[in-house]
Amino acid sequence: MSSNAYIARQPIVDAKHHLFAYELLFRHSAHAQSAHIESDIDAGITVIANTLVNMGTEWLLKGKQAFVNMESSMLMSSFSTLLPPDKVVIEILESVHITPDVLERLAELKAAGYRFALDDFQYLPESESLLPLASYVKLDVLAHTPEELVRIVNSVRRHPLELIAEKVESPEQFRRCQALGFDYFQGYYFA
């Protein structure tokens, strides 16, 4: 991995386009549009190290929340507690296998004040155990048909969670997601 690392901030906004939070994304160069990631843990550590050491949370976040992606090894390590829980929402990646150890770790982190977003959430029997631990569910609106989105939104709404529509690319998508009852919105339309 290069000795230089860059962080992209993608805004997460409410229904009135007011900034709610940023998702912090690792980038390998200043002009990269996507990440070139050798490993998820390296990307996560880079985001955390750059946020804490090089940039400082106040300058980077301007008083807003930071959503930071974490995969299994990051969640299970002490790296997951390097950022302050009052400023960070841990995004549990869809690649995380839900095991009793992972659920126990999430319960420990939640007891320490951390909040979780379930990234690219799929409403499956194995994902059901995550819902009581989470504060947010992120749904990729491009990955689902309108009918699937309605079904997933209705299922998730049985829990006290807030919904974030990801990959909102146009005003039409934004309006559809608003009508479905999403609380927050993220995508190039807002960037």
Q: How far apart are CA 79 and CA 149, in angstroms?
A: 34
Residue 4: the pLDDT is 57
Residue 57: the pLDDT is 57
Does position 181 have pLDDT exceeding 90, yes or no?
Answer: yes
DSSP state letter for 34: S
CB 105 within 8 A of CB 79: no
CB 169 within 8 A of CB 189: yes
Q: How far apart are CA 118 and CA 16, in angstroms?
A: 23
Closest CA to 35 of 46, 24, 27: 27
Q: Helix, strand, coil proportions of the chain in percent (round to 5)?
A: 40, 25, 35
Question: Residue range 139-144: average pLDDT?
Answer: 94
> Which pTM was predicted?
0.83
